[in-house]
Amino acid sequence: ILNVEQSPQSLHVQEGDSTNFTCSFPSSNFYALHWYRWETAKSPEALFVMTLNGDEKKKGRISATLNTKEGYSYLYIKGSQPEDSATYLCALGNYGGSQGNLIFGKGTKLSVKP
Amino acid sequence: DTGVSQNPRHKITKRGQNVTFRCDPISEHNRLYWYRQTLGQGPEFLTYFQNEAQLEKSRLLSDRFSAERPKGSFSTLEIQRTEQGDSAMYLCASSLVAGQETQYFGPGTRLLVL
């Protein structure tokens, strides 16, 4: 069974704090890693798609890195704001030759207190 | 709004009843995916279509589940003889092509089976 692990499960920070989460996955047969942000009652929002070892991507205060050789990705949020409160999901894409379905972790739930 | 839409947003039904959900993908997207998320888990893949062809089904998709995508446009997911274990968030996503293409998600249909 393929496991995509995310840690921590939940995180509570104060406004202005910087934070980071981890996504771990099997390093073999890697194709792509996706990060999503999912706010309550909204659609999951695509943040990044990463494919190459050493990839770094940035979107505003959010950035992500990828290490395919050791099987992990980090998501960083600089200067957290209350509107960053959401569940952050990572997912493997096309793992092992599958036809495009995503294999998700359980997510990290972030709460940012004003 | 040109995003993925899903209807209804919420559905409460009694055990044994049939339910049907609809997903309208982004208009030019040829791939459409269904996922299910239960409490404490990440979204899990159910099935996907390329145009009108259903190309892959997860083992999670029991005989009581059927999905269609007539004419390669909107899709429906029907659950027959619902069980309490079917209670979940049902998510639809669409993408242009396979590979590392981003999947864009709808807001989901939350099903509660009493």
pLDDT digits (tens, 9 = 90+) for A80-111: 999 999 999 999 987 656 666 899 999 999 99
- Mean pLDDT confidence for B12-41: 96
Q: Name the amino acid, one letter, at B101.
A: E
* Cα–Cα distance measured from residue B29 to residue A111, given in angstroms and rounded to the nearest whole number: 34
- Chain B residues 52-111 with CB within 8 Å of chain A: 55-56, 58, 91, 95, 98-108
Contacts for B37-41: CB closer than 8 Å, 24+ residues apart: B37/B88, B37/B89, B37/B91, B37/B108, B38/B87, B38/B88, B38/B89, B40/A106, B41/A106
| pLDDT of amino acid A2 | 74
Q: How does residue B5 score in pLDDT terms, banded at 50, 70 and 90? A: very high
Q: Which of residues 16-55 of B touch A (CB under 8 A)?
A: 31, 33, 35, 40-45, 48, 55
Separation in Å, CA B22 to CA A75, B84, B91, B107: 33, 21, 10, 12
pLDDT for the residue A96: 59
The residue length of chain B stands at 114
Evaluate if residue A1 carries a pLDDT over 80.
no
Q: pLDDT value at position B2?
A: 76
DSSP structure class, residue B98: S
A13 close to B (CB below 8 A) = no
pLDDT of residue B71: 87
Higher-pLDDT residue of B64 and A1 is: B64
Among B38, B44, B103, B109, most A C-beta atoms within 10 A, so best to mutate, is B103
Residue B1 has pLDDT above 70, yes or no: no
pLDDT for A23-70, tens place per residue? 999 988 788 999 999 999 999 999 999 999 999 999 999 999 999 999
